Amino acid sequence: MTDLHSWMIWPDNTALSVLTLLLIAMIGLYAARTPMHGLIRATGHAFAGPLRLGARWLFATAAGMKERNRAVLLAQGRREVGQRIEREFERVGIQVTRDLQGYPVLQRKLLEVITRIEEDYKKCGEVPPPPPDWVEAVAAVAQIKTGGGEVVQKILDEIRESVERIHDKAIAEYRRAYEERHDILEGSQPFWRSIDKTLKQVDRKMTGLQESADTIDAQMKKYRQIAAKADEAESILSNSAFTQFNIAVIVLTVALGGAFVNFKLIALPMSEMVGAGDYITASLRTSEVAALVIILVEASMGLFLMESLRITHLFPRIATLNERTRRRMIWISLMLLVTLAGIEAALALMRDMLIADKQALLQSLAATQHAANDGWIAGIPTAGQMILGFILPFALAFVAVPLESFLYSARTVGGSLLVDLVRALAFVLRVLANLARHLSRVLLHMYDLLIVLPLLGELMVRSLRSGESPVKVKARAVDSPGKL
Amino acid sequence: MIKRAFLASLLVVGLTVAVAGCVDSRSQAHAVYMLVDTSGTYAREAGKARLIINYLLGTLQSGDSLAVARVQNRSFSEKDIIAKAMFDARPSQANAQKRAFREKMDAFLRTVSGSAYTDITGGLIQGAEFLNETGAGKKTILIFSDMQEELDKITIRDFPISLKNIRVIAVNVTKLGTDNIDPRRYLGRLDAWQKRVEGAGASEWKVINDIERLDAIFSKS
């Protein structure tokens, strides 16, 4: 009880004691106002200053990183577009070489056909010999009056017969001539078709060339944009990188599933090769690691194969190999891959045999009846496992393609995310710096609130001394707290 | 250059596998020593012993060890080991060993005859010796017995034994006629064995009477 009231100046009068202590505290706080304000301000600055500095540094770092990311992205884009243009030119080159090589033959063929058609045309243009002059003679004879003379009649009959005979002969001649022309025209039909076909072929090739030229134009436009460091090009490349990254992640996840199935297929039979009782860690068997190594070696072989085939470009050294060495690498990788696939198929078969053996043992230990043999149906899983074992290494080989996309796009995506992270951190630091600064101001005002009575007294005294109204003096004080 | 790097990577992979193969694997192996009581009326429980042995054969893996010994007048002898095997690292060979083991055990259990005395302590000492020799990381002694030790007058077993880091599991501890009259005898017998086994440094003491719960043999309590 005594302890509880020890702070009281007048133990019997709590209110008076409190009031007195408050007055003493107020006077003490008023006296310490200037150093306390300084302390609060300094503390505020001590927190806010480094935080602002940190925020500024992080913003600057983020800007630098963004610039670097941009440079890397544009360089990657330039390289990719450059490669595409190079390949397009290569294609066009092959196309032009192939087509131009055959062009003299084509031209000769066309000329021959055209000459032939011209000849045929000329032949068709040869008119049959004109009718003889006897037509006019016949007309003249027709005007002769018989006069009922028998001799004249006879002569005229003979003339008529002769004319008819000659007419029939002429008609036959005409028909034969026309038949010949028809035959010639009929014979020239394949040549027309040949010309049509050849011209279509030329047209198709020209269209192909035109398309390639258009593609090159589009790629060149892109290349120019990248070279000019245009924002549009950066935006397109960035979006493309994000899309590539997502696709690559999905495909790699699928590939990982395939690798897991592959692992399950060969982990058990590998114990037959390296032993089932060897452990690397408490739960990791050597056989499992060996199976994993086999799968990784297969993936590596696939990578080398894809690289040698110039489908991927992860190793610049392989890309710059000469043609002979590159072909050798293709064959070596392929042979190793086929060998590993064969080993996997054999291991898959062994796995099936081991499981069957274990099953038989367990059945004999359980002293139950043996399961009936399902005949050829029982062979389906075995065959399936063997086929899977053979196919999966080749399927895994193609992982190189999404892996390349993943690696290249991960730089852009990772860099972009890192920039965002640094910016977010800078923002948080800036918010904290502002918070510290405003908190120090709030504390200053709160301090002044505690010593409001002495401050009012000071205000009155100052106004009396300066002759200004207390309102003006207060307004000045509000503008600069702590400087009354 | 590429070829050299390729060959070097293959070499590294090969060496890794080889080094991994050299890691001592015995610490992960499991060794089980089973004592089968063939004394007096307990010899009639031989059928259940077969079930337990079959369970062990089906559960133990390549690299594990199994030995089955009988408990009779004096059991501290290698001659009492009926069959023993350290299962081959290759699963196919291990399966063949298990078949041979089972056949040996079948032959023994068909011709099992009761003995006059029961030297469980001698069997435990022999079992501990066998298990320590295997160098396995996990060591278990299974005692297929009613845990009623009966020794002749000249056999000395009342001295401290060492069962350090060995799990001891009593299986199918049947109640004797006298246990039914006073169950405290049965409980007292088990308590006495627990004290003796734990006093000898055993890592675990367990009693499994339900043959359907044999999976508890390999699970930690």
| CATH, residue B87 | 3.40.50.410
Which of A332-367 are b and which e, b meaning 16 or more Cβ less than 10 Å from the residue's Cβ?
A: bbbebbeebbebbbebbbbbbebbebbeebbebbee
- pLDDT tens, residue by residue, B42-83: 877 888 888 999 999 999 988 899 999 988 777 778 888 999
Please check whether residue B209 is in contact with residue B45, taking contact to mean a CB–CB distance below 8 angstroms: no
Tell me which long-range contacts A367-375 makes (C-beta under 8 A, separation of at least 24): A367/B54
Contact B90 A329 (CB under 8 A): no
Range of the domain at B101: 33-215
Give yes or no for a contact between B157 and B119, defined as CB atoms under 8 angstroms apart. Answer: yes
**SS3 call for B142:** strand
Closest by alpha carbon to B35, among B114, B145, B140? B145
Is residue A354 helix, strand or coil? helix
CA proximity to A47, closest of A411, A432, A340: A432
Query: Cβ(A395)–Cβ(A28) under 8 Å?
Result: no
Q: Which residue has the higher pLDDT, B213 or B199?
A: B199
* Residue of A360, A226, A392, A472 lying closest to B98 (CA atoms): A360
A402 vs A252: CA distance, rounded Å:
7
C-beta atoms of B61 and A280 within 8 A: no
d(Cα A207, Cα A211) in Å, to the nearest integer? 6
Q: Is B91's Cβ below 8 Å from some Cβ in A? A: yes
pLDDT for B87 equals: 92
Q: How far is B123 from chain A (nearest CA, A)?
A: 26
Measured between alpha carbons, how far is A357 from A368 in angstroms, rounded to an integer? Answer: 15
For CA atoms A31, A34, A38, A40, give the dihedral sign. positive
Q: What is the pLDDT along chain A (484 residues), one digit of tens a residue?
A: 456 677 777 777 888 888 888 889 989 999 999 999 999 999 999 999 999 999 999 999 999 998 888 888 888 888 888 888 888 888 888 877 777 777 777 778 888 888 888 887 777 766 656 566 666 777 777 777 766 677 878 887 887 788 788 888 888 888 888 888 788 778 877 878 888 887 887 888 788 878 888 888 888 888 887 777 777 777 888 888 899 899 999 999 999 999 999 998 898 888 888 887 777 777 788 888 999 999 999 999 999 999 998 888 888 888 888 889 999 999 999 999 999 999 999 999 999 888 888 888 888 887 655 555 667 777 788 888 889 889 999 998 899 999 998 998 898 899 999 999 999 999 999 999 999 999 999 999 999 998 888 888 888 888 888 777 777 766 766 665 544 4
Tell me the residues of A at the B interface, defined by beta carbons under 8 Å apart.
268, 271-272, 274-280, 282, 286, 289-290, 293, 296-297, 300, 304, 315, 317-318, 321, 329, 353-354, 357-358, 361-362, 364-367
Query: What contacts A334, CB < 8 A, 6 or more positions away?
Result: A305
Neighbours of A408 (CB within 10 A): 20
Q: Tell me whether residue A308 is exposed, middle or buried, using C-beta atoms within 10 angstroms of its C-beta: 0 to 12, 13 to 18, 19 or more.
A: buried
- Counting Cα atoms < 13 Å in the Cβ hemisphere of A400 gives 24
Q: Is B1 on the interface with A (CB under 8 A)?
A: yes
Minimal Cβ distance to B58: which of A297, A317, A365: A365
Q: Is B166 helix (H, G, I), strand (E, B) or coil?
A: strand
**Does residue B3 fall inside a structural domain?**
no
Task: Look up the ipTM and state it.
Answer: 0.75
Of A322, A257, A265, nearest to A288 by C-alpha is: A265
Assess contact for A30 and A457: CB atoms under 8 A.
Answer: no
Instruction: Tell me how far CA of residue B216 lies from CA of A12, A50, A113, A183, B211, in angstroms.
Output: 78, 63, 95, 103, 10
Look up residue B87 and give its two tokens.
Answer: 């299962």
Classify B69 as helix, strand or coil: strand
- Output the pTM of the full model: 0.63
Which residue, chain included where needed, has tokens 């066998």? B130
> Residue A1 has what pLDDT?
46
Residue A202: CA count within 13 A, CB half-sphere: 15
Task: Please name the residue that has the structure tokens 């359980």.
Answer: A366
- Number of inter-chain CB pairs under 8 A, A vs B: 94
Contact B17 A297 (CB under 8 A): no
3-state secondary structure of A31: helix
Predicted pLDDT of residue B4? 53
Residue B12 in this model has a pLDDT that exceeds 80? no
Please give the radius of gyration of chain B, using alpha carbons only, rounded to the nearest integer: 21
For residue A271, the chain B residue with the least C-alpha distance is B90
Q: What are the extents of the domains in chain A?
A: 238-367+375-398
Considering only CB atoms, which chain A residues are within 8 Å of B54? 365-367
